Every structure is written in C-alpha cells, then in structure tokens.
Structure 1
C-alpha cells in the first residue's frame, strides 16, 4: 500500500512538472495545424470560428508534453463537448465561455482530472453537466456555471469535490436542489445561487460543511427551508434577499445566529405576526439580520410582544 501511494505521488509530480516544462519550453504546435486556434506560453485560445469538428482536430495535434496552462474557447458555435474531445491533454484552467454549448458529456475533461484548478463555463446554454465527475477533479478550486440553463442540482453533486472553494451557479433556471447536494464539503468558501427559480431548500442541502462559508440565495422564490438545511454547518453569511419568506423559522436560523452568522433578508414579505414564529427574533440584533422589514413597514427593532401577536 505504501509503495502504491508513493507511485501515485511520483505520477502526480510528473504531471505537474510536465505542464510547467511546457510553459517554459513554449511547446506550441505549428500554427497551421491548430487553426482557428492560437497558441502561446499562456495556453490555447479559440475564438469565434471553432466548430466541434475543428476542436477535435486541434487536440489531435500532439505537442511534446501534451499540456496547456489554460484553454480559452469563447464565442463559438459548438453545441456539445464529447467524451475525451481534448484527447488526454492536461490543462490547469478551462475557460469555455459565451458559446452555444448545451451539453458537457461524461469524460470530457478526463485527461485533466488530477490538475484542473479552475473551470469557467460562463454564459453558455448548458442544460446538462456531469456533476458526479467533480469528485475526480481533485485539484479543482473554482467552478463557474453562471448564466446557463441548468434546472436541478442532483444529490451529492458537490459533496465529494475535495478542494472546491468557489461555486457560481448564478442566473440559471434551477428549480430544485436535491437533499445533500452540498453536504460535507471540506474547503468551501462561497456558493452563489442567486437569480434562479428555487422555491424550497431541502434537508441537509448545505449540511455538515466543514468551513465557514458565504451563501447567496437571493432573487429566488424561496418560501420554505428545511430545518436541517444548514445542520452542523458554519455559514458566515446567508443572503436570502428578494425571496418569498413570510417568517424566519427559528428551527432553521436560531443556531446559525447563535454561532455568529449574518442573515441578509430585504425584499421578503414578512408578516411579523405569530408568537411562535417571531418571538425568538425580539432578542436578535439587527446587525445579524440585515434588511429585515415587515410588510407593514416595521423594522426588526420595532417588533414587540404586542405587535407580533403574543398573548399573555
């Protein structure tokens, strides 16, 4: 077992070494062979004219180390990325943005699993992404799927992504998150889920996350959050601005508030009526529940037993 572990370490070292050597050696293929793409010491860039057939041919051209620091694929008419379309090339950063891309197939990035650090798929038309492969991307720290057409986040999508710190899922069409989708993440710093179509947050969706993190759920239609959604986690900031919450459930938020979390909640239709729903808030500082305002216009500091309907 120890020998196998040592061999794994050596293999990973050689992969990283080969990529860095490529950067120093300026090991670009002949320009004619990779048209319409362009290669330099920073990596490979493909703008405007790239088709799926072109892309496959570009990555069939071998270079000495078969590696790039970054690959930019921007504003092209490609519709999908098929399995192993990058032909085993090792790439630190994929920036595949503003294309007509609809589908990312399984094994698309297989040659780069151990070394990808950043993946941006900003502003495509992606409706399917193989979330189950994130656990294989053992160095991935940043993932952006902002401004696509995703509709759901499956169970355990991010739970096994070992180094992932920043996740951007803003401006999709996400209407459901499966229970445990982000459960147990080890290095998370920020999740952006604003401007989607969420109506509820299920059990353990963000449970047992092992670091302090910020989460932005603003601009959805959220009216229900399961009491275990943030169980055993340490959210520093939870933004729920511009949703459909009529009260802040103490079963959800009392513990986060007690450990120092900040809630950001303007733009919700808070009724400010109901002793069991609102009494716990009377002792909470407005700095911890920012932007709170009742539908009647009352601020948090103006709530009292009488006007929330507590009977003596």
Structure 2
C-alpha cells in the first residue's frame, strides 16, 4: 500500500470516530437530535421558538461532550416567544464568549445564577434586548455583576424602571455600557462608579427627565476620553441637567446628543443652558459636545452665551443652525433686523462667523445684516444666488471682517459688482472665491487693501496644486526669459514643482543646470522622462 492510500484510510477512520461521538473536524456540535429544539452551528448555539425549558437541553449537550475544552462555545443566542424563565444553572457546564438574548416577549424571570460559575468567567459581551414587557428586572445587576471579564453590556426594553444607584460593581474589563427603554424614568447616584475601564456609556430612548450631579462619577481618574451618549430621550432638553452633571468624571468627556444608527431625536437639544453646560466646557479643554442632527436654534437667547466664546463654539461638533442661514431662507434682512432688535449692547453684535448657503436665497439686499458684524464670512453652495447688493454688508462688517470666502456654485450669479463689494473690506486679510460665473479677472480689480496678504517681499510660485486640483502637464519646461528675472529679483523667491512632469532633457530647461542656486529653489522637482525618472533634482549634476 502506498503512502497516499494509507493516509486516506487514517482520515476515513478519524471521521468515523468523530461521527460516532457526534462531532466533525470543524464542528463541536453534538447530534441535532441532542440539541433539539435548539440549533447548533459550529461554535454557536441558538434557542428560539418552541423552546420552553433550556436546562434539560444543555444537560444533554454537556453529557455528550466529554472534553471540557470542547464545551466552550463562541455564542449563545436566545429568542422567541415560548421561553418564560431561565432557571438556575440552566446551561450546565457549557460556556460562551458572547451571549445575546433578544425578542423574548414572554420572558418573566432569569435566576441570579442562571449562567452558573463557568460562563461568567469567559463571557466578553452580553446583549439583552428583550422586548420583554413582563420581565422582572429586580436582580438584573446581580446577574451582570457576576460577569467579571465582560467588556460590553447592552440591554433594554426589559421593563426596567430605573438605573439604580451603585448598579455595577467592580468589573475591571468593562469598557462599554448601553442602556435603553422607555420604561426607564430615573437614574441613581454612582451607577458606574466602580467601572474604571469604561470608555463609552449610552443611555437612550428612555423617559428620564433629569440627570443629577453624581451619576457620571468614578473612583479613579482616567487618561482616556469618556463618551457619554444621551439621545432620543424626549423628556431631556438643554436644562435637564445638574450644573455638575458632567464635571466630576475625572477625565475628559465627549457628550453625544446626536444619536446612533437607529435612534435620534433632532428636537432634544435646541438650546444649551449656560448654567448647565458652561461648567462642563470649563472643566476640561478637551471636553466637547456632538450636536449632529440636532435642530439647534441659533436665534434662541439661551444660546447667546456660546457666541461670546469662540473656543466653546468650536467644541460643539457638527453644530448647524435649524433656523436662519440654512435651506428655507429667502430674505435675510428681516431675520437680522430681529436679531439686532434683541441685542441691546453694541459689543454683543460682533459675531465670529457668518455662513450662508442653501438653494433658496436668490439675492442679498442692501444692509441685509443690519448692524450685526462678522469677522469671517463664508458663502458657499448658494446655487440660486443671482445678486449681492454692493452695500449688502453695510458700513460696520467691512471694517471688522478678516476673511471672506465665496465658493458659490452659483451659475447665474451676476458678478458685475463683485470687486466693488470686496474693495469695501478694508481690513480683510484673505479673499477666496470661485464658481460664481466670473468671466475675467479685470484690470485693477483690487483697490488699496492694506491688510490683504500681498507679495511686497519674496514670492513662492506654486504650480503643484492644492490637494484638490492639479495639472501635471502644466509645467514641463520653464522658459529662461520668463523665470530667470523672477529668480534673480529676490534670493528668497522659489517655485514649487510638486507633481509636475518636468522634462529634464528639454533643452529649454538647460539654463537651470548652469546655476545651482536657481535649481535648489525649484522645490519638489522631479524629472518625468525615462533617464531621470524618480530622481530628485538637488544639483546641476542631475539635470542634462
């Protein structure tokens, strides 16, 4: 018998032996009749409709697996509408790394020791999305606190009334806690106090009305930022928090009111009360608030404190006004007249940013912004904009503005008076504009604007592009009569040639190799032709 034939016999014999004990080479599942009415698939056991008593099923499974190592499965999934209780030691000595219980509509009770002594040592994730209106959650945290190595708990819709004080004991590896359910009405003190590894806690879709000061406090300080997600809680608003609700965490915090992939309430945070959130932003310079998808009312006086501090405003991530300058605005003038009438102190009428966009604004009339002024003006994506009055920004704003960006995407805009508008901004340091139906950059376009960054000294020409646009074939050669005077004019003058297909064999570039100083001032220069492909040009020796 040859070696191949012998090997085949050995493999066939091994398959027969494994089959006899109900296992396969890649599957630790016993015979389906043993697991029935649950199902086993590789390293996963699932028990759904038709299952009433879990205990005898897992006692059979355990009896048919003799190797203790094979009794460690990856996942346990429990669901369906027939299981009413999970008794003590329901799973015998079978253990799981992940447990998921969901959609158990008739579940009423889980014994505190339902998972026995082994599984809690091995489980790293426990998800309990019950949809269980009759579940008795009295001992829920007693169950959870047995899972000493768990890294994630996620649970909700299980008839919870409260997140109790001191809910979690010391679970040194627990990094994430997710809690939801409309039945939850209150949250007690220090529920997470012992969870020193916690990095993410989410409480959403609840009926909680108030967050007191000692909820998010911890025994030890943390070097990692904690994310606290509070979203789709319809009874919470910008005043529903103690002033120290988030200041005692012992580390930086990112509050998230924006929602997850499944739930959000855009009306939850239309304003942020100063007395509640200013202490939080002051407590740590890394503290921030994610406001994505929130209908934030920029005209609400309760948000006025934010505009007075640019640093606070920057730490409100993904913030957009639900009123004012977004789609739906047609006439800016009456909006800013109202704003002006409601601010009595002239100093408070100086804002940092004005942003205009959307597809409903067609014109910006004379004195559109009343006596409200801005340091930075940005107009972009105003697709239907046709006209801006020469005096649209009045007399005050042009004296204060340092940056004006007009990226219009405005194919019907009449740019006739564009430079008349720009030339009123006497203290501006930056203009950036385009896609606004300009036909030319006219002669003498800009008048004297003393603070607008100008070339008065040395110049760096850049043919390389800006990260969005480049043309690699633009500068294959540099004509001596055009560029030598530029390089001679100032020893600091230079040319950025990044990404340009410069032809080092073109004789029109020969003048550069005769002057090593000129060559050094061609930054990021590389030859595009075969002889010099990939070589950086650092000296005249590289240029033929």
Q: Tell me the TM-score normalised to structure 1 length.
A: 0.75
The equivalent of 1:15 in structure 2 is none
Q: How has the CA–CA distance of structure 1 residues 260 and 309 changed in structure 2, closer, same or farther, with 3 Å as cutoff?
A: farther
Larger mean Cα displacement after TM superposition, 150-159 or 194-203 = 150-159
- Compute the displacement of 1:162 (Å): 1.7
Partner of 1:14: none
1:225 to 238, 241, 253: 241
* Corresponding residue SS for 1:114: helix
Tell me if 1:262 matches 2:270. Answer: no
Shift of 1:201: 0.8
Pairwise CA distance, 1:57: 1.1
- Asked if the contact 1:142/1:166 (under 8 Å) is kept, the reply is yes
Alignment-derived partner of residue 105 in structure 1: 111
Is the alpha carbon distance of 1:289 and 1:186 closer, same or farther for their aligned partners in structure 2, counting shifts above 3 Å?
Answer: same
Which sections of structure 1, spanning at least 5 residues, go unmatched? 1-21
- Taking a change above 3 Å as real, the CA distance of residues 49 and 88 of structure 1, as seen in their structure-2 partners, is same
Please state if 1:197 is matched with 2:202. Answer: no
Q: 1:250 and 1:37, CA in 2 relative to 1: closer, same or farther beyond 3 A? A: closer
Question: CA, structure 1 residues 69+296, in 2 after alignment: closer, same or farther (shift >3 Å)?
Answer: closer
Aligned equivalent of 1:152: 162
Name the residue aligned to 2:55. 56
Cα distance between partner residues in 2 of 1:309 and 1:24: 80
Pair 270,197 (structure 1): closer, same or farther in 2 beyond 3 Å? farther
Instruction: Name 2:188's counterpart in structure 1.
Output: 178
Q: Which has the higher contact order (CA 8 A, sep 6+)?
A: 1
Please state if 1:238 is matched with 2:278: no
Q: Tell me how far 1:235 sits from its aligned partner.
A: 4.7
- TM-score, normalising length from structure 2? 0.46
Q: Is the 8 A contact 1:23 1:41 kept in 2?
A: no
Query: Residue 295 of structure 2 contacts residue 321 of structure 2 at CA under 8 Å; is this kept in 1?
Result: no
Q: Flag structure 2 segments of 5+ consecutive residues without an equivalent.
A: 1-22, 259-266, 327-335, 348-544
Bigger CA radius of gyration: 2
Within a 5 Å distance, the mapping from 1:1-312 to structure 2 comes to 26-51=27-52, 53=53, 55-61=54-60, 62=62, 63-64=65-66, 65=68, 66-100=71-105, 101-111=107-117, 112-125=119-132, 126=135, 128=137, 130-158=140-168, 160-208=170-218, 210=222, 211-220=224-233, 221-222=235-236, 223-230=239-246, 231-240=248-257, 242-243=267-268, 247-248=273-274, 249-250=276-277, 252-255=279-282, 258-264=285-291, 266-267=294-295, 272-273=300-301, 279=305, 282-283=308-309, 284-290=311-317, 307=342
Q: Is the 8 A contact 1:47 1:73 kept in 2?
A: yes
Please report the RMSD computed on the Cα atoms of aligned residues, expressed in angstroms. Answer: 3.6
SS of the aligned residue for 2:59 comes to coil
The whole-number CA distance in structure 2 between the counterparts of 1:132 and 1:116 is 16
